[in-house]
């Protein structure tokens, strides 16, 4: 819930006309002004959209913390956290498109009939291409605060002199996010095998597995036909309605705009809120209904490129999935042998594109009907909403516990999964905890039969990507 605007209490006590005048004079609250749109920014969403309590207290563990606790007889052995980098600046391509649209508005003569266009022409274009997807100051805060919350939730694992393995994608925003996460933990933890506190280890084979999967690159990433549903929605009636409305507000011919430019304007609203915590004048172009349409466009792309659209999207992540269980296996073996856990904390920083395929591989957020260009209305209550799954600073955490006072040996080792700090229900039990043995059994096929090299190898016969997809 957004904080009350300054003077709101006074305004409430005044006669309605006077109250209205007073509210006009008050500076706009970013959280109030963008409230109708901020829930629909997809992968450009602030982390606070999934954890609203953090708006008031960035270090609060929130209402989900109690539900993540196990009985006192269970002690955490290992935490494996997969993080998306924090809030970032737009990419160079998005900045270029925004610059083109802004220049077009500035070239048009200001007209009283077009207050929206005049306001946007006067807006300061402060983005530079050199920012190209880099971590914003807010992104560093995202990571530092996340580290402090995780340490508060699992104090035994984050205690002094515990060993932290920290790895990252090679992208600058991920390396900086990893460094910020470590800063949030303070100086007490040792790092890696030699304790040196240099930059995180780069591990693109796990954090950017998609780049190393030839089949995914050829058949999805570089195959225009793979995004046919996205392209169809851009030309469909819902997007056409939004485009015409924006063109009218800007006093531009509809032919001068396209879905990509409209989406850039919408995402500029999201960037201004996430990076600067202000309501951008670009937000004024869109209603909540427009935002839902643009969110669906974003989700369609995520679905077909990173989610359930094609099997290779998720199957390519099995190298990461198997690595997670190899470390959990090792911790179980060390515990059974009464040895110290060699890797109690493993934190890896990647991308939305790292987390989304992995969650699809595990079967989370799967709708009965695929997301398509022609079923926007039927998907109004879909599970697959990327802004709820992988906002900035999204995190998927596996926690392995050793439990005493159990009835069977199988119950001795148990697991929880947290997504964005909230316990997830396991598919096989519909519970937030699972025995480690049951979890491994449920995912036995992926653990034993998904081989990255074979999954990602292009067929030697001349099969076209379109035919195969």
Instruction: Please tell me the number of Cα atoms within 13 Å of 245 on its side-chain side.
Output: 16
Kindly list the catalytic residues: 85
Q: What is the mean pLDDT of residues 439-467?
A: 86
What distances in angstroms separate CA 409 from CA 262, 336, 402, 440, one per listed residue?
A: 58, 11, 11, 15
> In the block, which residue shows the tokens 């699809």?
360
pLDDT at 412 over 60: yes
pLDDT in tens, 320-347: 999 999 999 999 999 999 999 999 999 9
> In the block, which residue shows the tokens 């099969």?
463
pLDDT at 110 over 70: no
Let me know: does 13 contact 265? Beta carbons within 8 Å: no
Q: What is the mean pLDDT of residues 91-102?
A: 94
Strands 163-168 and 190-191: parallel
Distance CA 154, CA 145 (A): 14
pLDDT in tens, 178-201: 999 999 998 766 565 444 556 789
Q: The tokens of 170 are what?
A: 């090679």
Q: What is the mean pLDDT of residues 23-46?
A: 67
Q: pLDDT: is 69 or 168 the higher one?
A: 168
Q: For residue 446, name the pLDDT band (cuts at 50, 70, 90).
A: very high
Residue 467 DSSP class: H
Question: What local confidence, expressed as pLDDT, does residue 10 receive?
Answer: 33
Question: What local confidence, expressed as pLDDT, does residue 222 receive?
Answer: 97
Tell me the pLDDT of the chain averaged across its residues: 88
Q: pLDDT: is 189 or 353 the higher one?
A: 353
Q: Which residues of 141-158 are buried (b: 16+ CB within 10 A; e: fewer)?
A: bbbbbbbbbbbebbeebb
pLDDT at 172 over 90: yes
């Amino acid at each position: 819930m957004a904080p009350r605007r300054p003077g709101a209490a006074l305004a409430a006590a005044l006669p309605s006309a006077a109250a209205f005048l007073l509210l006009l004079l008050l500076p706009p609250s970013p959280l109030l002004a963008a409230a109708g749109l901020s829930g629909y920014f997809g992968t450009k969403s602030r982390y606070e959209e999934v954890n609203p309590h953090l708006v008031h207290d960035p270090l609060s563990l929130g209402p989900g913390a109690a539900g993540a606790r196990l009985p006192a007889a269970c002690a955490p052995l290992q935490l494996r956290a997969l993080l998306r980098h924090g809030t970032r600046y737009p990419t160079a391509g998005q900045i270029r498109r925004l610059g083109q649209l802004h220049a077009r508005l500035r070239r048009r003569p200001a007209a009283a009939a077009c207050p929206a266009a005049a306001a946007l022409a006067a807006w300061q274009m402060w983005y530079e291409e050199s920012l190209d997807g880099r971590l914003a100051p807010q992104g560093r805060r995202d990571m530092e605060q996340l580290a402090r919350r995780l340490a508060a939730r699992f104090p035994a694992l984050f205690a002094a002199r515990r060993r932290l393995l920290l790895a990252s994608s090679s992208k600058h925003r991920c390396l900086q996010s990893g460094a910020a996460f470590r800063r949030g933990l303070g100086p007490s933890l040792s790092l890696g095998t030699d304790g040196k506190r240099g930059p995180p280890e780069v591990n693109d084979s796990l954090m950017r597995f998609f780049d190393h999967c030839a089949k995914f690159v050829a058949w999805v990433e570089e195959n225009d036909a793979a995004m046919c549903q996205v392209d169809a929605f851009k030309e469909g009636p819902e997007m056409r309605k939004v485009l015409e409305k924006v063109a009218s507000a800007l006093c531009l011919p509809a032919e001068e705009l396209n879905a990509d430019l409209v989406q850039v304007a919408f995402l500029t609203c999201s960037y201004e809120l996430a990076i600067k915590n202000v309501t951008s004048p670009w937000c004024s172009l869109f209603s909540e209904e427009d935002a839902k349409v643009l969110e669906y466009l974003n989700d369609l792309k995520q679905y077909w490129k990173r989610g359930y659209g094609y099997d290779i999207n998720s199957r390519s992540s099995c190298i990461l999935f198997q690595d997670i269980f190899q470390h959990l296996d090792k911790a179980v073996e060390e515990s059974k042998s009464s040895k110290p856990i060699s890797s109690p904390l493993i934190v890896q920083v990647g991308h939305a594109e790292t987390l989304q395929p992995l969650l699809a591989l595990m079967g989370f957020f799967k709708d009965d009907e695929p997301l398509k260009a022609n079923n926007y209305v039927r998907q109004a209550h879909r599970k697959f909403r990327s802004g709820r799954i992988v906002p900035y600073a999204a995190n998927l955490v596996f926690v392995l516990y050793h439990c005493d006072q159990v009835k069977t040996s199988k119950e001795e080792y148990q697991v929880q999964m947290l997504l964005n700090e909230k316990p997830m229900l396991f598919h096989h039990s519909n519970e937030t905890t699972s025995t480690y043995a049951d979890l491994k059994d449920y995912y036995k096929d992926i653990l034993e039969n998904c081989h990255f090299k074979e999954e990602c190898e292009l067929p030697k016969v001349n099969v076209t990507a379109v035919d195969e997809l």
